[in-house]
Every structure is written in structure tokens, then in C-alpha cells.
């Protein structure tokens, strides 16, 4: 008999409409919700009567440990993440904490997928990732910068459409500049670049530009940057990667 359950729940981009039915159902079944302050706010209307544990950015491990404790007390616990629970989300950390926990067999864990930023931003830009694509986070909080740059080099060489997550923050304002210098070695200046800020939120903005005109200074931590591949073009304000259909 399990003592408790943890749902790691992907909330999608931030609006209620882009949440899945399972995400709603999982939240409803929880006695406890744990998450980064902003994501907890996002589901405030669903959180009435539940114990709410908010934590700031960078406190992922604390959040994870509290979720395990609360589950061992017999609760159903929802760990809420923006986007998908598994893409730069809490699913990995929760499973890693569980793996090493003496009472792990007392806790069941289910990962509820969600709309990750590459998908939500692409839907607003047009269809830029309709062929092979990759995601790269420019945050070196967990990954050495050299490793990130190697990934970016290979993504460019392989002609992947690239979704840059965490493209810029106050703590590392110059990383996006360096990253785009790498991209410029491989892709021509007319390559379309899409910048979506706060996708599906109140102050959403969508900009489509080209590699030569792209200004990293226009990007902040609320943005996702999508860089086209050799088959990406812009038509009537939409960013489209051609798959080569005979029309």
C-alpha cells in the first residue's frame, strides 16, 4: 500500500486553455500543491482548500524534498511546472530524489505532460518546427557553457530548427550575443528568427526578424527564441519551415 502520490504537472504556457484535461484532473485530486511562486499563481483558481507551498527560483531541490515529505505523510501532491513537466522541468529532479529515498516504494509518481515553450511559441509564429528541431537552454546554472556551445554548433551543423530556452537573464546578459555569433557562422543572414515573449499571456509579444537584424538586447528571460533552418522562410507574417510538399 502506497502512502502517497506525486503528480509532476506541466501547466503549459500559462493560460488555462493550453492546459490539458489531465493537468486539471491531477490538480483537482491534490491536497498539496508545490511550485515556483509564479506557477502557483497561475493555478490560483484551482488551489482553493489545498495546502500551497510556494518557493522562489533556484529552490528546486527544496521544492522536491518537500513534495516527497508531504507524499510520505499520505497526501496527493502536485508539483507544478510551466510548459512540460519533463522539458527542463521538475520531473527529473523528483525521480532522482525518489530513487535515493529509503521509502521510495511508499510513493507513486506520475508525470503529466504539458505544452512546452517550443510548441506554444511555434504555434504563434506559424510553423517553424514542422521538421526536425532541437531545444537548447542557454542557462549555465546546471550545464557548463562549453557544453552548451558544443550543442549549439552541432545543432547548426545538423540544420535543426533551434528553440532557445532561457535565452537571456540579468545574470548572463552576454550569453545570447555569444550564441548568435555561433549561429551566424552556419546560417545566412536572412535566416528567420522568431522571438515570442510571454506566449499566451496578457502581455504577449511576437516578433519575426532575420539573423542579421536580430538584437539580443531585445530579449529577456520571458522570451523564447526560435531560429529557422535552411528551409525556413517568412510569408505574410508567418515563419514557416518548408517540408517540401508538391503543392
Site for a copy of itself in 154-173 (CB under 8 A): 154-155, 157-160
User: Cα(62)–Cα(238) distance, rounded to whole angstroms?
Assistant: 42
Q: Which stretch binds a copy of itself (CB under 8 A): 19-27, 40-48, 172-180, 189-197?
A: 19-27
Report how far apart the first and last C-alpha atoms of the chain are (Å, whole number).
58
Q: Which stretch binds a copy of itself (CB under 8 A): 51-59, 188-196, 209-217, 230-238?
A: 230-238
Of the pair 51, 230, the CB lying nearest a copy of itself is at 230
User: Cα(238)–Cα(234) distance, rounded to whole angstroms?
Assistant: 5
Q: Please select the residue that binds a copy of itself; options are 2, 38, 61, 171, rule is CB under 8 A.
A: 61
Q: Does 238 bind a copy of itself (CB under 8 A)?
A: yes
Q: Please select the residue that binds a copy of itself; options are 120, 166, 191, 224, rule is CB under 8 A.
A: 120
Q: Does 142 bind a copy of itself (CB under 8 A)?
A: yes
User: Cα(225)–Cα(133) distance, rounded to whole angstroms?
Assistant: 13
Q: Does 206 bind a copy of itself (CB under 8 A)?
A: no
Q: Is 116 helix (H, G, I), strand (E, B) or coil?
A: coil
Cβ density class 38-63: b for 16+ within 10 Å, e for less: ebbebbeebbeebeebebeeeebeeb
Amino acid at each position: 500500500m502506497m502512502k502517497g502520490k506525486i503528480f509532476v504537472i506541466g501547466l503549459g504556457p500559462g493560460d488555462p486553455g493550453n492546459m490539458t484535461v489531465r493537468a486539471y484532473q491531477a490538480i483537482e485530486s491534490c491536497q498539496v500543491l508545490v511550485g515556483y511562486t509564479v506557477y502557483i499563481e497561475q493555478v490560483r483558481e484551482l488551489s482553493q482548500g489545498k495546502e500551497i507551498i510556494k518557493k522562489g527560483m533556484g529552490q528546486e531541490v527544496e521544492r522536491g524534498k518537500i513534495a516527497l515529505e508531504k507524499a510520505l505523510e499520505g497526501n496527493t501532491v502536485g508539483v507544478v511546472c510551466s510548459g512540460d513537466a519533463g522539458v527542463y522541468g521538475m520531473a527529473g529532479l523528483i525521480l532522482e530524489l525518489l530513487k535515493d529515498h529509503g521509502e521510495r516504494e511508499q510513493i507513486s509518481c506520475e508525470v503529466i505532460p504539458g505544452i512546452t515553450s517550443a510548441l506554444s511559441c511555434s504555434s504563434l509564429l506559424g510553423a517553424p518546427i514542422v521538421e526536425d528541431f532541437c531545444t537548447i537552454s542557454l542557462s549555465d546554472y546546471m550545464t557548463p557553457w562549453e557544453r552548451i556551445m558544443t550543442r549549439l554548433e552541432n545543432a547548426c551543423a545538423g540544420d535543426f530548427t533551434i528553440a532557445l530556452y532561457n535565452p537571456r537573464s540579468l545574470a548572463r546578459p552576454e550569453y545570447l550575443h555569444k550564441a548568435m555569433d555561433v549561429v551566424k557562422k552556419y546560417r545566412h543572414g536572412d535566416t528567420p528568427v522568431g522571438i515570442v515573449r510571454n506566449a499566451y499571456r496578457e502581455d504577449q509579444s511576437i516578433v519575426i526578424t532575420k539573423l542579421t537584424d536580430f538584437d539580443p538586447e531585445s530579449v529577456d528571460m520571458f522570451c523564447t527564441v526560435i531560429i529557422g533552418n535552411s528551409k525556413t522562410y517568412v510569408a505574410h507574417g508567418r515563419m514557416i519551415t518548408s517540408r517540401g510538399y508538391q503543392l
